[in-house]
Structures are given as structure tokens and as C-alpha cells.
Structure 1
């Protein structure tokens, strides 16, 4: 049974939680190695994922059962890598610029849905994708100070997240949501531990508190996201996911002393507008 208003409310709560999580990640990444932080976060996340998947599938064996282990492994690797890349962007560019550039990921999903999923992309969506990338160019300001190789880091994260989303759709053709969720957490935990354990460093008592909050918010955020899609269709609530940019920017401006520039604001408006149009076209074109 759907309840769109509850779904929208939960999506707004989810974006607040994820924005807070990004703020904590930015702080911790400024003090400790990114790989270690993501590794610890994935330990907690994997435990959460296993418990949820077991409850939905009936057993761990049932949750892990898949006909496409390579695809599921690539999905888990992509998401874990994307998180590492995005947190690195937070430390190098800040929350505002990173999030503004990252908002291009729905456009990348639309652009790649043809070659990856074999979906038809009409001229209207291609026009929106083109306009959206004009917005990205406005943000990057080629030839101006803001444009640097560092600005490509969140764009890489957006590409990785777009591919993760597309592979998740592909995996859903044969595997249940519980199975995909299980593989997401466990593969990410194995991957980040294999690399991150070599970068272990002592963490202060006060920062362990923040680390625990980070882990808890990651679990709560994913839980509220799951409940969001249980109450409402993705096409109805997805536009509200852009609020994460608003909340993350508020944290960046008030806590980290970052600033906004007109190219960032204008470019973000263009990208978000194109993204919302793309989501709308996907909804009206759905059978």
C-alpha cells in the first residue's frame, strides 16, 4: 500500500541524515585516512545489511543466493569506491562544490541507461542531459580558478554512483532487493577492509564518538530510505533527494565556513532543473 506523503516525508528525513553524515565524514577525513574511515563505517553497515537481508529473505544463505555474483560484486565495489572518492572530494573541494557537481548523477544515469540497460532515450531527455551538462560547465568554469583536476573528483564519484544505480536496476531483473542489499554491504566491507586495514591509525576518544555517530547515521539513513520506497514510488520521491544539496550546503556554510558563488548557484539550478525534467520524463514514459 502506497502513501506518497509519508514517502516524501521520509525522503526529506533521509536527506537530512545523509547531509549530517557527509558533514561528519568531512571532519573525520580531515583528521584521519579516508580508507580507514570508510572501512569502519562498512563494518557497521555490513552488520546492519546482513540483519535486514536475513529478515527479508529468511536466512543468510537465502539472502546471499544469486545467479549473477560478478554483477553483484561489481555493484558493491563501485559503491564502496564511490564513497571513498566522494569523501576525498569533501576534504579537497568542500561540501558545497562537491555536492553541486555530484547532482549531475541522475543525468549520467539517463545518458547511460541506453548502453547499459538497453533503454530508449528520447530527444527530450537527451536535450535535458545536454542542458544539465551546460550547468556542470558553468560550475567548473573552464579557464577560471575553480576549474582544476580536483573538480573532476566529485564528477568521477557521480559517474560511479550512476553506474552503481544502473547495475542495481540490472541486478533487480534476477535478484531480490534483499540479495542486492546483502551483496552491497558485504562486498563493500571486504573491499574496504582489504585496503583500509593497512592505513589504520589511532583515533582519539572524542573522535570515536563521531565515528560511532557516523556509523549509526549510515544505518538509520539506509533504513529510512528503504521505508521511503516501501511507502511511495521512486519517481514520486526522487526529486526530493536534491534537498541533500540544500542541507549539506547549510552545514558547509555554518560549520565549515565555506562560501557560495554565483556560478555554483546558477550551475546547480541548471543541473537540478535538467535532472527534475529527466525524472519527470522517465515517469510519464513508464508503461
Structure 2
């Protein structure tokens, strides 16, 4: 087997492992909510322990911790969008099933496709537009707005998807020179600062069980994000993006094992529509960007 193929397989393996771990974060967030902790405190706890678990990695890699990051304004905005995405998603899963909320979070590639031409200067054509439209039809299928089963709190997951899309766009806009683990730490610190300003009125002193579940939640957050970064060292975004959706498979299994719930037929249909449209839109956008780069290269005269 070629070395290139081995590297890609390593990247895919790391991505699948990360997507297996991420749903545990959501499981513990929902369990903490069921223990009576307010969603703001659950969100604060997620970022606090995320930062705590990253400290050993930072020391192991001998990264300089106290340094001014490149483009601090955008770094803060990036952390803010991740914080809001987490807060709204956790708010959605308080009263809704995790797979259902996670399905709506997956609108982020569609939102990225719509906003990228205005923010990043990327191309947007009729094929991408059609894919986005089909994806939002899947959103309507999941939400079931005309039925008695519609829960307005599920809209929090849509807001989370938009915030996460902005997080992705800002990440693309930033050209990081800092070590990835330090960038993750910056995001966690921003989350701690923002949530500390909000959480005080809702704070409940946690017992030992709450502390242990919070520590576990932060561990799964830090470990999964670190594995995602490592995966991109071995494979490209186009090679890894299809495997992001493995997260929903694990989420469905864990939700059934822990909470005894399974998504209904309509939710599964909406999930399939959103996933297929998201994959198509991502593929089309990457193809357009590649064509644009090739045209620019063709205009450069050889020396």
C-alpha cells in the first residue's frame, strides 16, 4: 500500500474515533441537565474542564501558554461562536432527543455554503443553491412545524447550527500560526470568560457526581477536538468530511442505550436529506474552489 494511502487511512481512523467520542460529550451534558444543573452552568463546565484537560497536552508539547494570539479579535469572535453554538445546542437537548437536535446542527455546511461567497469570496452557483434548498427541506421534515409533535425549543439546535457555521467560516478566515492545541485552549478560555458572566444567577454548587460528569464531559470535548486536528494532518477536508456524519450513528446508539429513545421515521428521513445535501454542497463548493485555483495558476506566466 502506498504511503499516501496509509496517511489518508490514519486520518480517516482518527476522524472516526473523534466522531465516536463526541456524542459522549452530549450525553453527559443532557445527564447534567437532568440532574438539575442549568444549561448555562453545563456550558461553563464543558469549557472549564476542556481547558483543564488541555493543560497537560500544552505542557507535554512545551507550548508557550501566555502569548498574544494572532488576530486576537477574530480569535475571540471564533471562540464566541463556538460558545454560542454549544450553549444553544445544550439548550435544545434539555427537552429534545440528542439525535434529533444533532440532525439540525448538521445544517452548518449549508449555511457555510450560503455565507462563504460574501465573507470568504468563494463561488456560489445554481447547483449549490439547489443543494442548500433541498437541505432546508430536510430541516422542515425534521421540525414537523405543522404537527402536534413540534417543539419550539428544537429551534435552538438550528441557531446552534448557524453559530457553528460562523465558527467554521472564521476558522477558515484565520491563518493560524499558533499550535493547534493552543488554539483549542484559546477557544476554551473565551468560553469560560463569556459563560462566567452569564452563569452566576443560575449557579448550583455541584456535588461529587456533578463534578465527575463535568470532568468527563470536558475530557471528551478536548480529546475529540484534538483528534480532529490530528486527522487533518493526515488527510484533506474533502477526504474526511463524509466521515463527520458518523457522529449521528453513535449518537443514535448511545441515546437508545442511555435514554431508551430512537428517532422516528420522519426524523430519519429528514436526517438522510440533510446529510446527502450537505455532502453534495461541500463537494460542489470544494470543486468550485479547486477550479478557481487552477484558473489562477494558469494565468501565472512561467519564469
Task: Verify same fold: TM over 0.5.
Answer: yes
Deviation at 1:53, TM superposition (A): 6.0
Which one of the candidate residues 33, 41, 44 is aligned to 1:29? 33
Alignment deviations for residues 70-111 of structure 1 (CA, whole Å, 9 cap, x no partner): 222111111112111101111121212101211211111111
Greater displacement, 130-139 / 199-208: 199-208
Confirm whether residue 142 of structure 1 aligns to residue 145 of structure 2. Answer: yes
1:13 corresponding residue in structure 2:
17
CA RMSD of superposed structures (Å)? 2.2
Q: 1:90 to 1:201 in 2, by over 3 A?
A: same
- Whether the 8 Å contact between 1:101 and 1:155 is mirrored in structure 2 is yes
Q: Secondary structure at the match of 1:144?
A: coil
Alignment deviations for residues 8-51 of structure 1 (CA, whole Å, 9 cap, x no partner): 11111111110111111111122211211221221222244566
Scaled by the length of structure 1, what TM-score is found? 0.90
Counterparts of residues 70-89 of structure 1 (less than 5 Å) = 70-89=73-92
2:204 corresponding residue in structure 1:
201
2:300 corresponding residue in structure 1:
none
Deviation at 1:175, TM superposition (A): 5.2
1:120 corresponding residue in structure 2:
123
Deviation at 1:130, TM superposition (A): 0.8
- Whether the 8 Å contact between 1:96 and 1:249 is mirrored in structure 2 is yes
1:189 corresponding residue in structure 2:
192
Deviation at 1:198, TM superposition (A): 3.8
Alignment deviations for residues 245-271 of structure 1 (CA, whole Å, 9 cap, x no partner): 111111112221223222111111111
Counterparts of residues 246-285 of structure 1 (less than 5 Å) = 246-285=249-288
Deviation at 1:56, TM superposition (A): 6.7
> How many equivalent residue pairs?
284
Deviation at 1:212, TM superposition (A): 1.9
Structure 1 gaps of 5+ residues are none
2:226 corresponding residue in structure 1:
223
2:65 corresponding residue in structure 1:
60
- Whether the 8 Å contact between 1:139 and 1:263 is mirrored in structure 2 is yes
Structure possessing the higher radius of gyration over alpha carbons: 2
Which one of the candidate residues 69, 81, 91 is aligned to 2:72? 69
Q: 1:148 and 1:213 mapped to 2: Cα distance?
A: 29
1:166 corresponding residue in structure 2:
169
Structure 2 gaps of 5+ residues are 294-303
Scaled by the length of structure 2, what TM-score is found? 0.86
